[in-house]
Amino acid sequence: MTCRCLPISSLVVSLCWMSRRFRNSRPSENPLKPRWKPCRQNETAFRKPLVRRRRNGEDTAPIMATVSDLGTQLDHQKVVFDEAAQALQAVLMSLPNIPDDTVPEGRDETGNVEVRRWGAPRDFDIAAQDHVSLGERGGLMDFDVAATMAQSRFVALKGELAQLQRALTQFMLDTHVNEHGYQEVYVPFLVNEEALKGTGQLPKFGDDLFRVDLERPLYLIPTAEVPVTNLYRDRILGMHDFPIKMVCHSPSFRSEAGSYGRDTRGMIRQHQFEKVELVQLVPPEESEAAHEALTRHAEAILQKLELPYRVMNLCGGDLGAASSKTYDLEVWLPGQNQYREISSCSNFKDFQARRLQARYRIETNAKPELVHTLNGSGLAVGRTLVAVLENFQDDQGQISVPDALRPYLGGKTRLLAH
RNA sequence: GGAGAGAUGGCUGAGUGGUCGAAAGCGCUCCCCUGCUAAGGGAGUAUACGUUAAGAGCGUAUCCAGGGUUCGAAUCCCUGUCUCUCCGCCA
């Protein structure tokens, strides 16, 4: 099995704890083995005589005493069982997913393996500008004003840049709906704790979430994955329901706690960004193929936009806790002279489904099985805007519009042409 | 935000402390009957989990959720959630 470097210490602690508490105890002491059955049976057995005596006006005290005692024992057994079950549940919920066999070894992003590469970075006669200097020209991309009304890591877009973002969004949605067969969905952008547990953001990774403090807290979604996947919470699907392929445009909100000093310039790392998300629910035997297909669907956007990119197979140490296997798509950014993540396509297998209780049956009376869930950005719109600006700039700081995007910009071929 | 009414099985809808996993109807499944037929009769029919070769049997849980009262809760009490009606407000 591939090693996950980060959580391994907690894994060891957890396993030792479980083993000590449950495995090594004798069967009769295993708190997870319910022992209230005899109590319950006796209790119900006493009930009818009790009622009969009461009806007949006979003395019920002796029976009552027995029944009462049994009830006390029963309660005690239940408490012991519930505590053990909850403790076990807490441990299980904190464990990360098991990496797929094809996940490479590695402790951080340097261990990721390039799977393929598409397109070639353009040669620039003079140094390429980054999106900030391109965008701030004419005041169409304004970080300062955003910071005055909110704080840093927010942006305001105007004019052609605001339109470009809308055009990109529309283009992505249309492509996934019309060419890749996804159903467009619209969902809440604030969700409760249960929804976040269902997709694995909680309990362990709440630091990166914006919380709205109500009597019952709500959280701004860090990705549409949360509400979209939760559409199938507690559902039992039939084979005729598959494949479930959904696409959703939404804003995403991330506190970016712990990323101080990283990507502080520009739109790469923002508290609020637009994203078009792909989500699939499939039977287990189809998830591997679905993962490849979903990744290709995200890649198709980059190809249509003529943006050079590479596909990375994340190593165990860089894998998200809920994911079993993840391909990152990294787009070429001339302004940074490097590839940067623009999409993350993951196969969660049954990890989320177990938390969501999203299941299916092969036949009407068959036992329900957990589905497999997958998702990927198709794409992160903000970063796509950055990529278009930086890759399609000319020496005047003007942007030529990729062919695929022109219908969405009223036929315009150039942006920022002042 | 104010006032009120609700939440029961696939659906409708009874049930105000024990014999209730829960009447009845509809729907559905199977069987039977029948030339007046867009009909009749009978039987069956909640779900999940565990156990199991098993869709058999048995066990456990579930009448919105969580707590409480009680020997015992669909039923009584508290809290929450959601739905509906009226008013207010609002995109």
pLDDT band at A294 (very low <50, low <70, confident <90, very high): very high
Token pair of A382, please? 């903000």
Which of the following is catalytic: A286, A341, A354, A361? A341
Q: What is the pLDDT of residue A74?
A: 66
- The answer to whether A327 and A295 have CB atoms below 8 angstroms apart is yes
Per DSSP, the residues of A216-265 read: S-EEE-SSTHHHHHGGGTT-EEEGGG--EEEEEEEEEE---TT-TTSS-S
Q: Is the CB of A48 under 7 A from strand B?
A: yes
Q: What are phi and psi of A49, to 5 degrees?
A: -55, -40
Strand B reaches within 7 A of the A368 CB = yes
DSSP 3-state percent helix, strand, coil across chain A (nearest 5): 45, 20, 35
- Summarised one tens digit per residue, pLDDT across range A244-293 is 999 999 999 999 887 888 888 999 999 999 999 999 999 999 999 999 99
**Interatomic distance A88 CA / B3 C1' (Å):** 46
Q: Which pair of tokens denotes residue A339? A: 């590839």
Kindly state the helix (H) or strand (E) to which residue A388 belongs, with its residue range.
helix A381-391
pLDDT above 90 (res A24) = no
Contact A372, A350 (CB under 8 A): yes
Structure-block tokens of residue A287: 């998830």
Give the CA A371 to C1' B15 distance in Å: 39
Considering A231-240, A331-340, A355-364, the range whose residues carry the highest mean pLDDT is A331-340
Q: Which two tokens stand for residue A203?
A: 């309990």
CA–CA dist A195, A204 (Å, integer):
14
Would you call A383 a catalytic residue per the annotation?
A: yes
Cα separation, A115 vs A75, whole angstroms: 57
| pLDDT attached to residue A321 | 92
Q: How far is CA A308 from the centre of its chain?
A: 26
Distance (Å) from CA A191 to C1' B80? 17
Nucleic acid strand B within 7 Å of A64 CB: yes
Q: How far is the CA of A242 from the C1' of B38 (A)?
A: 37
Structure tokens at A372: 């497999």
Strand partners, A28: none
| Predicted local distance difference test score (pLDDT) of residue A65 | 72
Amino acid identity, residue A372? H
* A183's tokens: 């159903």
Q: Residues of A from 217 to 236 whose C-beta is within 7 A of strand B: which are they?
A: 236
Model pLDDT for residues A306-337, shown as the tens digit of each residue: 999 999 999 999 999 999 999 999 999 999 99
- Alpha-carbon torsion angle A409, A412, A413, A415, nearest 10: -80
Which positions of strand B lie within 7 Å of protein CB atoms? 18-19, 48-50, 55, 59-61, 71-72, 80-81
Which residue out of A4, A153, A254, A340 is catalytically annotated?
A: A254
CA distance A10 to A324: 18
More confident residue, A408 or A357: A408
Catalytic site includes residue A211: no
ipTM: 0.81
pLDDT for residue A132 is more than 70:
yes
- For residue A134, the model assigns a pLDDT of 94
pLDDT of residue A213: 84
How confident is the model over A52-110, as pLDDT tens digits? 777 666 666 777 777 667 666 666 766 676 677 777 777 778 889 999 999 999 999 99
The reply to whether A254 belongs to the active site is yes
- A1 CA to centre of own chain: 23
Give the bridge partners for A248, in sequence order: A277
What's the CA gap between A350 and A344, in Å, rounded? 18
Active site residue A269: yes
Partner residues linked to A375 by β-bridges: A279, A346
* Residue A216, CB, strand B, below 7 Å: yes
Strand intervals (E) in A262-307: 272-282
* A274 in contact with nucleic chain B (CB within 7 A): no
The nt closest to A34 (CA vs C1′) is B60
Instruction: Give the CA-to-C1' distance from A223 to B63 in angstroms.
Output: 37
Helix (H) or strand (E) holding A312: strand A309-313
Q: What's the CA A259/C1' B48 distance, rounded, in angstroms? A: 44
